[in-house]
């Protein structure tokens, strides 16, 4: 593995709770892995055998319905932690939406390390509670918000979650310009909308001068105040 002090997410990942010697010890049980878009890291229903920190890229958490359809239940970004420490079965699959790099650990090795380093366990608890808060907000978004509110909320979240290492025009932890890691169909799947509805909302937001779309995947937030109002 490359030196941790060169890691893009070193100060925001769970390992930020560790000192230099502890980082070196954690380094010894981990390895870097590169994923191409569409490649799976964890499969739904399997024993939890590994955990990972996301260094670069965006990955989706998804589960299958009884009739074979896929439902995206979450998205992870650089510095996020994925996997299920301390045993159990994985309830969702993890697949790269973009080319990605992750720092991978055997779950057993990571569990033993975490037990010996309370600061890391505390950081894991903080991350878990933060993820719970995001899940509750996501339930509100999917269950109560209109199509326009869903798309606006989604763009605002992307501007915040991707900003620290991947975007242009970053101010106060928020990006004014970023590249979408999703296709229109994937956005529709995430938000529980049709692709036609998503495309209409993007066109409307651009027409009202709230966002600009220089290319199919680029988004520029021209009026953050108006976009926040759109998000409800």
Q: Where are the alpha helices (DSSP H) in 17-174?
A: 20-28, 107-116, 118-144, 147-161, 163-166
Residue whose pair of structure tokens reads 């890229």 in the numeric block: 57
Please tell me the predicted confidence (pLDDT) of residue 169.
60
Please tell me the predicted confidence (pLDDT) of residue 1.
47
In 3D space, the residue among 149, 155, 153 whose CA is nearest the CA of residue 213 turns out to be 155
Q: What is the pLDDT along the chain (232 residues), one digit of tens a residue?
A: 445 666 767 677 777 777 788 888 888 888 899 999 999 998 888 888 888 889 888 898 888 877 777 777 888 888 888 888 877 788 888 999 889 999 999 988 888 888 888 887 777 777 777 777 776 766 666 667 888 998 998 898 888 877 654 555 656 657 788 888 888 888 888 888 899 999 999 999 999 999 999 988 889 999 999 999 998 8
Please tell me the predicted confidence (pLDDT) of residue 173.
58
The two most distant CA atoms of the chain are separated, in Å, by 55
How far apart, in Å, are the Cα atoms of 43 and each of 39, 83, 106, 150, 227? 11, 10, 15, 28, 36
Beta strand segments in the chain, E: 30-35, 40-42, 50-56, 59-64, 70-76, 81-83, 93-96, 100-106, 168-171, 174-179, 211-212, 218-221
Q: Which domains does the chain have, with CATH numbers?
A: 4-140 (2.60.120.10), 145-230 (1.10.10.10)
Please tell me the predicted confidence (pLDDT) of residue 228.
92
From CA 174, how far away is CA 160, in angstroms rounded? 5
Long-range contacts of 66-73, Cβ-Cβ distance < 8 Å, separation of 24 or more:
70/189, 71/189, 72/186, 72/189, 72/190
Question: Which pTM value belongs to this model?
Answer: 0.77
159-193 pLDDT, tens digit per residue, is 887 765 455 565 665 778 888 888 888 888 888 88
Q: Are 181 and 78 in contact (CB under 8 A)?
A: no
Instruction: Name every residue whose Cβ is closer than 8 Å to that of residue 159 and which is 6 or more positions away in sequence.
Output: 167, 174, 175, 176, 178, 221, 224
| Joined tokens for residue 166 | 């991947």
CA 220 to chain centre: 20
From CA 134, how far away is CA 185, in angstroms rounded? 22
């Amino acid at each position: 593995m490359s030196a941790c002090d060169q890691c893009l997410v070193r100060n925001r990942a769970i390992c930020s709770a560790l000192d230099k010697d502890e980082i070196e010890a954690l380094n010894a049980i981990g390895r870097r892995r590169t994923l191409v878009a569409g490649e799976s890291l964890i499969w739904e229903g399997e024993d939890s055998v590994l955990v990972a920190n996301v260094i670069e890229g965006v990955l989706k958490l998804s589960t299958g319905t009884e009739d074979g359809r896929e439902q995206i239940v979450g998205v992870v970004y650089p510095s996020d932690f994925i996997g299920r420490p301390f045993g159990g079965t994985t309830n969702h699959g993890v697949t790269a939406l973009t080319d990605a790099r992750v720092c991978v650990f055997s779950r057993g090795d990571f569990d033993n390390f975490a037990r010996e380093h309370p600061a890391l366990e505390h950081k894991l608890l903080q991350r878990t509670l933060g993820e719970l808060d995001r899940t509750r907000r996501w339930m509100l978004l999917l269950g109560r918000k209109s199509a326009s509110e869903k798309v606006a909320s989604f763009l605002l979240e992307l501007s915040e979650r991707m900003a620290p290492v991947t975007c242009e025009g970053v101010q106060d932890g928020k990006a004014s310009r970023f590249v979408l890691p999703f296709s229109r169909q994937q956005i529709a799947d995430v938000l529980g909308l049709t692709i036609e509805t998503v495309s209409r909302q993007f066109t409307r937001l651009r027409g009202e001068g709230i966002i600009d779309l220089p290319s199919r995947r680029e988004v520029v937030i021209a009026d953050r105040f108006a976009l926040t109002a759109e998000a409800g």
